[in-house]
Amino acid sequence: MYTKDWTEAPFKAFPRVTMCDFKVRRLGNVHRYTIQCTLPINMYNEKIYMFLWFWFVFVAFISTLDLLIWIIRYCLRGDKIRFLKNHLNFYEGGRDQKEKEQVGDFLDNYLRQDGVFLLRLIAHNTNNLTTTEIVCSVFEKWKTWNNFKALEGSSSEPTAPSDDNDGIADDTIVALDDVDGKSEKLKRK
């Protein structure tokens, strides 16, 4: 066991005291001396690296804690629904009860795990207004698609277009996006 002060240990990375060899020339003769030298710069290096060590431990702890929070948010369905409802209510000042009930279906059948994760990353890296606009835009597109699917009465798989009328069947509702992002429904005859 080493009984001296740890700052003077021989295995220390930044020794404060060391042995220095130097030559002195006197009257044509060269004399070699070995003396004990102090290295004051190593005191500063020691403090800097000690601070960096504690800083890396702190960053590792915070990163681990943040990873656990992201995993919990990824697994909890209620947190995802609350996230979506907060952004949908913020944009339009509240929605009717039917749309609030559709949020679970929107989450389960459209966004799924990766969609909400992507929206959370967007929310983390942009402001609240941008995230709200994206969530509301995706929700409106999903409602349009869901209503179109309900009116068509078909499955969610796309069907092959017919040969007449440029691939659009008669009496089919078509949703087009204009420049402003508003959705128009046209009935083709």
- Please say whether the beta carbons of 37 and 18 come within 8 A: yes
Q: What is the pLDDT of residue 50?
A: 92
Q: Is the pLDDT of residue 13 over 70?
A: yes
- Please say whether the beta carbons of 56 and 50 come within 8 A: no
Query: What is the number of structural domains in the chain?
Result: 2
- Please say whether the beta carbons of 103 and 81 come within 8 A: yes
Binning pLDDT at 50, 70 and 90, where does residue 58 land?
very high
pLDDT in tens, 130-183: 999 999 899 989 988 888 888 877 555 544 444 444 444 444 444 444 444 444
Instruction: Check whether residue 71 and residue 82 sit in a common domain.
Output: no
Q: How far apart are CA 63 and CA 55, in angstroms?
A: 12
pLDDT in tens, 91-143: 555 556 677 678 888 888 889 888 999 999 999 999 988 999 999 899 989 98
Q: What is the pLDDT of residue 67?
A: 96
User: Would 160 be classed as within a structural domain?
Assistant: no
Q: Which residue, 28, 55, 75, sits at the end of a domain?
A: 75
Q: What backbone torsions phi and psi does residue 180 show, to the nearest 5 degrees? A: -80, -5
User: Would 5 be classed as within a structural domain?
Assistant: no
Instruction: Check whether residue 125 and residue 89 sit in a common domain.
Output: yes
Instruction: Check whether residue 21 and residue 63 sit in a common domain.
Output: yes
Residue 84 structural domain:
78-155+170-187
Q: Which residue, 47, 75, 103, sits at the end of a domain?
A: 75
CA angle centred on 100, ends 96 and 101, rounded to 5°: 120
Q: What percent of the chain has pLDDT over 90?
A: 26
Q: How far apart are CA 15 and CA 1, in angstroms?
A: 19
Q: Which of 180, 183, 95 is nearest to 146 (CA)?
A: 183
